[in-house]
Amino acid sequence: MKADDRNAIHRRTVLKAAAAGLGLAVPALRALAADPVPFFTRHHLPIGLQLYTVGAAARKDLNGTLAKVAAAGYQTVELAGLYGNSAQAMRKAADDVGLKYTSIHIQPKSQNGEPGFDQPPEVLAAAMQTLGLQDVVLPMFLMPEHLPKPDFKGGVAGGYAGYLDQIGPLITADDWKATASFLNTKGAALQKVALRLSYHNHNVEFRPIGDTCGLEILLQETDPNLVHFEMDVGWVAAGGADPVKILEHRKGRFRMMHVKDLMATTKTNYAMQQDPAEVGNGMLPWRKILDVAYATGVRKFFVEQEPPFKGDPLDSIAISAKYLSTIA
């Protein structure tokens, strides 16, 4: 018998002995060596989409857009308002294609039929119950009254991003504390009607204020029992911060996440500027981010992408969903 044959027999004997010692059959041993189970499958989590990403299409054709969202591989949707529809119409459109709403971004004040935090909690809760969701999100900080108002007709350079760049240095720690107080008050009121309140960050929150920043003030000043946070990973990175470190440092505070990627050409800024990419086509280490997010309490994940898009946003969300369905 040749040496190679003896070695092959020896390897097979060792594998069988290892399987027996572990109480495993050879097929089970092969399974252990198989590809790891994808993250979302392993944790029995749906892949969600923040509908803002395809908002223009949703406003023109809600039913058709939601059908394409479902076909792209999404199971849940986070809303950014109602796109001019009633809560009943929104719910039916989702039900018709097998999608589920799990959260919604709403503004401080109700206008044009959209829900707002100024509505009585019972009224807001009734609309949310119709939609079938429990989590409501304040998408941005309260604009301080002492700041100059934007005059876009007069030509603010850079539009809204330019305006934020101008006023950013004028936002004080007390301004951030005012937003925190608003969140605590609304969080307590909404908890009584079985709603959960979260705050969603952009990158404005990372502008330094002495040895702290807006996000740290919000985390410090809000009651963890009343106010949760939704981390927008892309805006965290655009603000020059590390999402993994924040998740680990503030374990349990972040319950939801915007899975948003960006290109390495993105420069650190505090004025909502980034070079966007489909998830997996950018620079962010998603395996590590997702694992740490889950370990620290995040349970709802929503793909979101900022404009400009290279092509149809519906094609972009399909690319992101395909990547996330296989990442392990």
pLDDT digits (tens, 9 = 90+) for 5-64: 444 444 444 334 444 444 445 455 455 556 799 999 999 999 999 999 999 999 999 999
Give percent of the chain above pLDDT 70: 88
Burial class, 295, CB count within 10 angstroms (exposed 0-12 / middle 13-18 / buried 19+): exposed
Q: How far is CA 167 from the centre of its chain?
A: 26
In whole numbers, what is the pLDDT of the chain averaged over residues? 91
Q: What is the reported pLDDT for 164? A: 87
In degrees and rounded to multiples of 5, residue 296 shows phi and psi of -100, 5
User: Cβ distance 105 to 80 under 8 Å?
Assistant: yes
**Cα–Cα distance, 76 to 73 (Å, whole number):** 10
Name the 3-class secondary structure at 180: helix
Q: What residues does 53 pair with on adjacent strands?
A: none
Distances in whole angstroms, Cα of residue 70 to Cα of each of 64, 87, 93, 253: 10, 19, 11, 30
How far apart are alpha carbons 189 and 64 in whole angstroms? 36
| pLDDT bracket for residue 257 (50, 70, 90) | very high
Q: Per-residue b/e over 6-44, b at no fewer than 16 CB within 10 Å?
A: eeeeeeeeeeeeebeeeeeeeeeeeeeeeeeeebbeeee
Phi, psi at residue 273, to the nearest 5°?
A: -125, 135
User: Structure pTM?
Assistant: 0.88
| Peptide bond before residue 308 is cis, with ω within 30 degrees of 0 | yes
Could you tell me if 48 and 279 are in contact, meaning their C-beta atoms sit under 8 angstroms apart?
no
**Unique residue bearing structure tokens 């505070």:** 253
Fold for 35-326, please state it: TIM Barrel (3.20.20)
Report pLDDT for 62: 98
